[in-house]
Structure 1
Amino acid sequence: MGSSAALRELQRDLEAKANDLNKLQKDTAKNHQIRKKYTIQLGENELVLKELDLLNEDANVYKLIGPVLVKQDLAEANANVRKRIDYISAELKRLDATLQDLEEKQNSKKDTIMKLQQRIQVLQAGKAKA
């Protein structure tokens, strides 16, 4: 295999790795978007929980279901909000783990791309001297 064929092979490999990196970056951006949504929801639910904690046990609590306000038991409302907070917190932990994995894969892919670019430069420099 001549240096031209080797160079073409390296360039194809580089292109494939760059596409992989691009996909990882898109997945990371999507993860950040979802994480932001969950973070906002967590803050809203924590605020609701604080408000519920301020109420007396005989206070009326209503839940919006579609266009209708439905009376709800305070203890039930409290339990529902706590469950939602637990769920959102678990999702945030899962997203953080996924994000860490994606970032590690990105760094690895960037290293591979840098090494490929260096090999291509060495081959090109060798051809220029010949």
Structure 2
Amino acid sequence: MSLEARVQAASTEFQKIQTELSGAVEARQRLDAQLSENEMVKKEFNQLTPNNTVYKMVGPVLVKQEQNEAKSNVDKRLDFIRSEIKRIEGQLKEVGEKSEKKKLEIVEMQAQMQQQKQVASGAPIIGVD
């Protein structure tokens, strides 16, 4: 495979990695919004008295729900969201490292191509240290 073809293949792979990275960033942002929303709900629940009634929306209908059950559901949801954030953070780190590696690989190959063009044209090669 020629150097140009390898650069093209690496560039295509780099674009795929960037798309994957973008998807992970969007997922992280959605999780942050969900975390914030559920933390607000938990704050509201902490201000309730035993006399307050809690309703849960099921489709277009509000259904009465026990306070303890509602609080428990929010706590479980918060735990789940936090664990998903940790998972996505790991994915972001991994994909970011993969992206950086691929970018360096492309830069090296482009430098090799440039050097080959200089040799082919008979131009003097200037080393960069």
Normalised by the length of structure 2, the TM-score is: 0.92
Q: Of the candidates 51, 56, 61, which is equivalent to residue 63 of structure 1? A: 56
The list of structure 1 runs, each at least 4 consecutive aligned residues, that deviate by more than 3 angstroms after superposition, is none
Q: Deviations over 1:16-58 (max 9, x none)?
A: 0000100000111111111111110110000000000100123
Q: Alignment identity in percent?
A: 36
For structure 2, the 5+ residue unaligned runs are 124-129
Q: 1:78 aligns with which of 66, 71, 74?
A: 71
- Of 35, 38, 42, 2:35 maps to 42
5+ residue gaps, structure 1, are: 1-7
What residue is the counterpart of 1:33 in the other structure?
A: 26
Instruction: Give secondary structure in 1 for the equivalent of 2:49.
Output: coil
Q: Give the number of aligned pairs.
A: 123
Structure possessing the higher relative contact order (Cα contacts under 8 Å, 6 or more residues apart): 1
For residues 114 and 97 of structure 2, what CA distance do their matches in structure 1 show? 26
Written as runs of structure 1 = structure 2, the 5 A alignment for 1:2-13 is 9-13=2-6
Amino acid at match of 1:84: R
Q: Which residue is 1:92 aligned to?
A: 85
Letter in 2 for 1:70: V
- The TM-score normalised by the length of structure 1 is 0.92
Superposition RMSD in Å: 1.1
